């Protein structure tokens, strides 16, 4: 969206076909993502749809990601490591709490403000956007909406400042989109509960201070959620290796063997699996915005690259095939942002449905995937180098296309809303 006057990148002159920012060295004939391009993607001035406060937080995160994260993130992506050094700096930006209101001031980000944090993080690195989404819009929000006063008092102030990091454990090895089929059990024992089971793909879990674990009562079948603290005996996390997407996110397999949690660490606001929807109503909005950020970053990088790279004595920007691709990418970014913005407004008004959220997430991740593929084509051989962002984003988008409900499941939910017929349901029990 519109270039930020406070952004480091926005200080460069308006883009032209041969405009090289003289303060930036070049890598071969084109700059790498270490020197992030100016934000040129908001050709429809969609930034005007944001409040001054929402724009301010957006520009603050944009400047931070460009100056602090872009120069180091390609190496972390290559090594599948997390840049822990940026966590205190992100905490200092005042964006760690998302929509959760500060218990002392009563202030928090609006839904769109929190979305802009995810967008601007994802514009430079989708993994950083995912880290913040999991921490703020899942773990922290669950405690805020479903926790006790004591749990909120203990965790929320530190989590808002990123002095404590959260993870959220729902997905299991045998059930992803069908999350309600969770098999992890919680057994009541004197003084608390014992958790047994496995979780998979849990972001931040290898190093987080707290994990919100969803489990089913072994006696009643009722779903509960629990605060599991770092270092709890029997709670084992193992980093998932060999990913081609979101390599910076430290996803974990979790094994729980008689993990004891006190009754005080059970979230009292959870009475059924339906209570997850109170949290997911926010996270669904965030995952619809995340592809917007990724696609915007790819577009910005490609626009700069096309102007800098010459073949046959002509900038790639002058090639008709390049212009067709960049125009298609530009249109996708505008449409994706508008759809996510409208979803956010419906959510703020309490009018968002599962079908709305599924349509927005499915369509935006599909179009974002197209933007990344077109960007990879535009960069030619450099399109397979993580140094130029595009290859990294190309891989990262594959995870976004799949998580928080696969594309296929989300379009079936949207199709259910359009037709009134469900295409998937629990199979009828066979007669014996």
Report how far residue 173's alpha carbon sits from residue 176's, in angstroms, rounded to the nearest whole number. 7
Tens of pLDDT, residue by residue, the chain (432 residues)? 444 434 434 333 333 333 334 333 344 545 666 688 888 999 999 999 999 999 999 999 999 999 999 999 999 999 999 999 999 999 999 999 999 988 777 788 999 999 999 999 999 999 999 999 999 999 999 999 999 999 999 999 999 999 999 999 999 998 877 767 889 999 999 999 999 999 999 999 999 999 999 999 998 999 999 999 999 999 999 999 999 999 999 999 999 999 999 999 999 999 888 888 888 888 989 999 999 999 999 999 999 999 988 889 899 999 999 999 999 999 999 999 999 999 999 999 999 999 999 999 999 999 999 999 999 999 999 899 888 889 999 999 999 999 988 889 899 999 998 999 988 765 554 333
Q: Which CATH number fits domain 9-160: 1.10.540.10, 3.20.20.70, 3.40.50.10260, 3.30.70.20?
A: 1.10.540.10
List the Cα angle 264/166/160 in 5-degree steps: 95
Q: 105: burial class by Cβ within 10 Å (0-12, 13-18, 19+)?
A: exposed
- Amino acid 31: pLDDT: 65
Stated as kind and residue range, the H or E segment containing 196 is strand 192-202
* The pLDDT value given to residue 24: 38
What is the b/e burial string over 38-74, where b = at least 16 CB atoms within 10 angstroms of the residue's CB?
A: bbbbbebebbebbeeebbebbbbbbbbbbebbbeebb
Domain 166-273, CATH homologous superfamily name and number = Butyryl-CoA Dehydrogenase, subunit A, domain 2 (2.40.110.10)
pLDDT at 162: 96
Spatial neighbors of 419 by CB under 8 A, at least 6 apart, are: none
What local confidence, expressed as pLDDT, does residue 431 receive?
A: 38
CB 100 within 8 A of CB 139: no
Q: In the prediction, which pLDDT does 4 show? A: 43
How far apart (Å, rounded) are the C-alpha atoms in residues 59 and 36? 14
Which residues does residue 197 pair with via DSSP β-bridges, in sequence order?
Answer: 256
Phi, psi for 370 (deg, rounded to 5): -65, -45
Domains of the chain, by residue range, sit at: 9-160, 166-273, 274-419
Helix, strand, coil % in the chain, rounded to nearest 5: 50, 15, 35
**C-alpha dihedral sign at 47, 139, 202, 354:** negative
Contact 84, 249 (CB under 8 A): no
Cβ neighbours around 270 below 10 Å, total = 22
Identify the pLDDT of residue 10.
38
Residue bearing tokens 């872009």: 70
* pTM of the complete model: 0.89
Cα–Cα dist 78/391, whole Å: 11
Task: Give the right CATH number for 274-419 from 3.40.120.10, 3.30.420.40, 1.10.3720.10, 1.20.140.10.
Answer: 1.20.140.10
Q: Which of 301, 324, 326, 308 is nearest to 391 (CA)?
A: 301
| DSSP type of residue 81 | -
Name the phi and psi angles at 47, rounded to 5: -60, -25
What would the DSSP string read from start to end of 164-190?
S-EEEE--BTTBSS-GGG---EEEEET
């Amino acid at each position: 969206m519109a270039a930020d006057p406070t952004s480091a990148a926005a200080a460069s002159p308006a883009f032209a076909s041969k405009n090289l920012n003289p303060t930036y060295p070049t890598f071969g004939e084109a700059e790498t993502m270490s020197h992030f391009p100016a934000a040129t993607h908001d050709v429809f001035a969609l930034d005007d749809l944001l409040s001054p406060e929402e724009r301010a937080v957006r520009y603050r995160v944009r400047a931070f990601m460009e100056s602090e994260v872009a120069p180091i993130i390609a190496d972390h992506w290559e090594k599948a490591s997390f840049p822990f050094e940026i966590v205190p700096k992100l905490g200092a930006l005042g964006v760690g709490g998302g929509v959760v209101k500060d218990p002392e001031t009563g202030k928090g980000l609006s839904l769109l403000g929190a979305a802009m944090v995810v967008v601007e993080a994802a514009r430079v690195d989708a993994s950083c956007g995912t880290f913040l989404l999991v921490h703020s819009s899942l773990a922290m929000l669950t405690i805020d909406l479903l926790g006790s006063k004591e749990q909120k008092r203990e965790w929320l102030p530190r989590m808002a400042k990123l002095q404590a990091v959260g993870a959220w454990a729902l997905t299991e090895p045998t059930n992803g989109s069908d999350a309600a089929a969770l098999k992890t059990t919680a057994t009541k024992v004197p003084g608390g509960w014992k958790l047994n089971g496995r979780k998979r793909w849990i972001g931040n879990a290898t190093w987080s201070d707290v994990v919100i674990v969803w489990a089913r009562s072994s006696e009643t079948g009722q779903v509960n959620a629990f605060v599991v603290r770092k270092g709890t005996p029997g709670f084992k996390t193992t980093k998932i290796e060999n990913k081609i997407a979101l390599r910076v996110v430290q996803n974990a397999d979790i094994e729980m063997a008689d993990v004891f949690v006190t009754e005080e660490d059970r979230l009292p606001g959870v009475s059924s699996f339906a209570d997850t929807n109170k949290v997911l109503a926010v996270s669904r909005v965030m995952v619809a915005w995340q592809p917007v950020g990724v696609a915007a970053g790819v577009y910005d990088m490609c626009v700069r690259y096309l102007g800098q790279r010459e073949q046959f004595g002509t900038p790639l920007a002058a090639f008709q095939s390049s212009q067709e691709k960049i125009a298609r990418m530009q249109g996708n970014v505008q449409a994706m942002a508008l759809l996510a913005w409208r979803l956010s407004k419906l959510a703020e008004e309490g009018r968002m449905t599962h079908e709305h959220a599924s349509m927005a997430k499915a369509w935006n991740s599909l179009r974002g995937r197209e933007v990344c593929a077109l960007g990879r084509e535009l960069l030619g051989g450099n399109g397979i180098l993580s140094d130029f962002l595009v290859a990294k984003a190309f891989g990262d988008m594959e995870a976004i296309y799949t998580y928080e409900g696969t594309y296929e499941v989300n379009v079936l939910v949207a199709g259910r809303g359009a037709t009134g017929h469900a295409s998937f349901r629990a199979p009828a029990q066979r007669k014996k």
